[in-house]
Structure 1
Amino acid sequence: MARIAVKIVPEHADGTPCTHAVAPSGKPRDPHSGCTGRRRYQVVCSACGPVGAHGLRVLAEPAQSAHRDHHKKAPAATR
């Protein structure tokens, strides 16, 4: 069985990943970096793709756990 990773990816408003250092407010620490700030956090599964977007990371974490638990449930064996 392949390993499945469920990650939280911070994104800019245009949907591109945000890898810049940001302040707790979500605004970039370096004003000259070209970063527009983080707007949402996308939950991405390596098997299913994007699962859902949330405005706060604290809201994305339960969705990440729930999706991971969804993959842990094995189907019942049939005879």
Structure 2
Amino acid sequence: MKVTPLHPDGTECTHAVSPSGKPRAPDAGCACRRNYAVVCSACGTVGEPHGLRVLAEPEQRQHRDNHKAAPAPASH
């Protein structure tokens, strides 16, 4: 489970950014980071994107805890 930075158009941002959130390389074609989405490998995107990473982290933690609390399927 991860918190994924998103461009304004909703695509994942993998560009290197400065502490301000602006691209380190202006010619990289990055439109800056706008939102952060919680992405679960089993469930996909969880909830709505958040404007700040610190706001996405509680949702990430809660979703992870829900997985831990779910009973494991019985194996045959």
TM-score after normalising by structure 1: 0.82
1:5-20 alignment to 2 at 5 Å? 6-20=1-15
C-alpha distance in 2 between matches for 1:17 and 1:31: 17
1:67 to 63, 70, 73: 63
Number of equivalences: 70
**Percent identical across equivalent pairs?**
70
Residue 41 of structure 1 pairs with residue 36 of structure 2: yes
Deviation by residue 1:37-63 (Cα, 9 ceiling, x = unmatched): 000111011111100311111111111
C-alpha distance in 2 between matches for 1:20 and 1:47: 25
Q: Which runs of 5+ in 2 are unaligned?
A: 72-76
Deviation by residue 1:13-69 (Cα, 9 ceiling, x = unmatched): 111110111112211111111100000111011111100311111111111000000
Q: Which residue pairs with 1:3 in the alignment?
A: none
Given residue 2 of structure 2, which amino acid in structure 1 is its aligned partner? Answer: K
Q: How far off its partner does 1:74 sit? A: 3.1
